[in-house]
Amino acid sequence: MIMKTKKIKKDKHQKNITTKKLLFLQRVLSEKKEILLVSIIMIIAIAVSLYYIFEQKSNNGFFSFPLDDPWIHLQFAKNIIEYGSYSYFKDEVVTSGSTSPLYTFLAALLLIFIKNEFVLSYIIGITFFALLIFFSFKLGKVEFGFSISAIVFALLVALQPKLSLISVSGMETTMFIALVIISIYFYRKEKFLLSGIFTAASLWTRPEALILIGVFFFDMIIQKFYFKTTFGKKLFDEKKFIQFLLPLLILSLLYFLFNYYLSGTLLPNTYKAKIAYYFGQDRTNFLKKDILQYFSEKEFILFPFLIIISFIFIVYDVVKRKYNNSLFYFAFAILFLLAYYIQLPTSHRFGRYLMPVIPFYIMIVLDGIQRVLILLQERSKTDQSMILNFIYSILIILIMGLSVNEIPKTKDELTFLGKYHNERHIKIGKWLRENTTENDVIATHDIGALAFYSNRKIVDMVGLVNPEIIEYLKDKNSTAFLKDHFIKNKVTYFATMRNWFEAVNQNPVFVPVNEFEFFEVFRFEPDKFHIMPKLASEFNQQAIILIQNQNFRGALDLLMRSLRIDPNSSRTLFLIGNVYDFLQDYDNAELYTKRALEIFPEYPEARYELARIYFIRKKYDLAKTEISKAIEIKPNFKEAIQFMITLLENVEKNFDEAKKYRDALEKLQ
């Protein structure tokens, strides 16, 4: 009996030993090795970011941003330096139109020394990405308790292609994520004063920090009153929370006063403007595509299953009243996604609004993997550390491999989007500077590059810097409001994308790229001004896709629905005529094309379409009249010139006149 007891004690002792030395992920490295490994990881992260930048430069021949928003920060920063004003035009349009005041002030400071807008933005983004990696390791070491686990966490964050992409986007996202990680690190280390300061700094970077503040207070309360941890006891019994609360309250109050002083609202204009613009977005689609698909595709393909395992451990610990560190990160992720689901159901380009969740997603998954392996070891009668080490290593290598595999694809995306914005936004901004006067006022919805490069006063059509326009954004028919607003603000030109605000019934004065997405510049002429209602425009865009796929009946149905919403759109009538042409119903094709020309006589594409119909019907004189008008309206209309050549050579046999058009066509090639 005594011998049996001794054996049991020996087995338990052996299990404790193997649990303590369980996996290589639990080994503690020397401080020098830690510094060396973290430095290498930071260099890797910086190298990936630089790879994106220089590959874009090599392929495109220029630097650019994958979004228009970075130039908004830069425009504010430029005016702070040049006019001493937090304004969007000289010192006149003073407004809280930057989502990230802290980022804007930092950009203004650097603008004194660095004049290149791209280099400046890259330096900020990459620097905070490196800080994110460093403090990811520091936080990982606190949470996991072991150096190797923290190294793995930092490495997975460094190799995350979405995060490295956003570091060179010119946006404040990596700055925000880094400040969030830093504030949590100091909180876990019980350095509450620093945690409060950095939490407030994250609020000055993005308003979503309010979610983080809420999670901090949630964590304090449950640790004290539900889990009754030593940490929670110290917070309240020793009044340590005051060290956190005091700087947070003071700096947050200054933030709210700053916004209120500038625009009369506690949060930046951008918050209310985006909520108004995206009002009515499909939340089911947001849940499926922006959340579930985004967090399960490509490099995250293994994560959904692993997150379920972590969730089970969290629930189990909560029921047992045992505090699980991952509960904090899980609460932050859920509340963050829920806030967007309720308030702003869109993740924007490459899911940038949801990126702050990514490091915590990785942390929760890693914690779940580690907990499973420890559980398996503890339940085993023998030391399984070697096989468990192997499983852990394979999983981590696989996750890293999936991330690394996405880096070239992400580089291609960044290169494409950089070219996209250069060919549209930057070119329009420079065209406006060269072809308009200093007194001209430009209205647009993409206000960044246009304002930065044109040096013209901008009227914002979505309210980011003109909050007075926000209220109309939910209006289904914006023509009347915008017309009055443009007249009041002395607008002379407006620039819009068709999929944002589709302007019809007049010809643009400048189109930098004649392909989707069309970004067009128009003179503002109140008598001609007409913006299609959003739903009618969407029907047209869907119809065009169906036409390209030769689904003419489906396209016709959508176009008729569009016409019922907006009977005064020449583009809709033209498209209907075009569909009837494809269906060889030339009576209706002629009827609707003529109706389009009644509304908009200077519509070159409609003139061309009507000429084609007349040609098919062998009304050659009428065809020549219409095609001549099309070329007169639009001298560089290649298809119309080629049509005229065909008509002259094959019908009239007038080769001398046809040669003049051939010469003109060759000059356009």
Whole-angstrom distance, CA of residue 335 vs CA of residue 211: 7
Taking residues 174-202, report their average pLDDT.
98
Which residue in 574, 497, 587, 494 sits closest to 540, CA to CA? 574
CB atoms within 10 A of CB 480: 12
Q: Per-residue pLDDT tens for 53-81?
A: 999 999 999 999 999 999 999 999 999 99
For the cut 50, the answer to whether the pLDDT of residue 254 exceeds it is yes
**For the chain, what is the radius of gyration of the CA atoms?**
31
What pLDDT does 474 receive? 67
Q: Per-residue pLDDT tens for 169-187?
A: 999 999 999 999 999 999 9
What pLDDT does 11 receive? 45
What sign does the CA torsion over 205, 209, 213, 215 have? negative
Distances (CA, A) of 352 to 84, 174, 306: 31, 10, 23
Query: How many whole angstroms from its chain centre is CA 258?
Result: 26
Query: Which domains are present in the chain?
Result: 7-417 (no CATH), 436-523 (no CATH), 534-668 (1.25.40.10)
Residue carrying the six token digits 């420890």: 374
Which amino acid, 279?
F
Query: How many whole angstroms from its chain centre is CA 394?
Result: 33
> Largest Cα–Cα distance in the chain?
119
Whole-angstrom distance, CA of residue 339 vs CA of residue 587: 53
Complete DSSP assignment for 101-149? HHHHHHHHHHHTT---HHHHHHHHHHHHHHHHHHHHHHHHHHHHSSHHH
Whole-angstrom distance, CA of residue 310 vs CA of residue 327: 10
Residue bearing the bigger pLDDT, 33 or 306: 306
Task: Give every strand in the sheet of 519-523, ordered side by side.
Answer: 457-460, 441-444, 493-497, 519-523
For the cut 80, the answer to whether the pLDDT of residue 33 exceeds it is yes
What pLDDT does 89 receive? 93
Q: Per-residue pLDDT tens for 610-643?
A: 999 999 999 999 999 999 999 999 999 999 999 9
What pLDDT does 275 receive? 84
Whole-angstrom distance, CA of residue 355 vs CA of residue 178: 12
Residue carrying the six token digits 């403007």: 273
Poorest-pLDDT segment among 20-34, 109-123, 222-236: 20-34
Residue 343's contacts (CB-CB under 8 Å, 6 or more residues apart) are 275
Which amino acid, 63?
F
Poorest-pLDDT segment among 60-64, 274-278, 554-558: 274-278
Q: Per-residue pLDDT tens for 94-104?
A: 898 889 999 99
The pLDDT-based confidence of 13 (bands split at 50, 70, 90) is: very low
Whole-angstrom distance, CA of residue 409 vs CA of residue 405: 8
Q: Per-residue pLDDT tens for 300-324?
A: 999 999 999 999 999 999 999 999 9
Whether omega before 517 lies within 30 degrees of 0, making that bond cis, reads yes
For the cut 60, the answer to whether the pLDDT of residue 19 exceeds it is no
What does pTM read for this prediction? 0.91
Which residue in 328, 43, 45 sits closest to 185, CA to CA? 328
For the cut 90, the answer to whether the pLDDT of residue 110 exceeds it is yes
What pLDDT does 8 receive? 40
Q: Per-residue pLDDT tens for 357-416?
A: 999 999 999 999 988 988 888 888 787 778 888 888 999 999 999 999 999 999 999 999
Residue bearing the bigger pLDDT, 277 or 87: 87
Q: Per-residue pLDDT tens for 418-460?
A: 999 999 999 999 999 999 999 999 999 999 999 999 999 999 9
Taking residues 223-249, report their average pLDDT.
93
For the cut 60, the answer to whether the pLDDT of residue 5 exceeds it is no
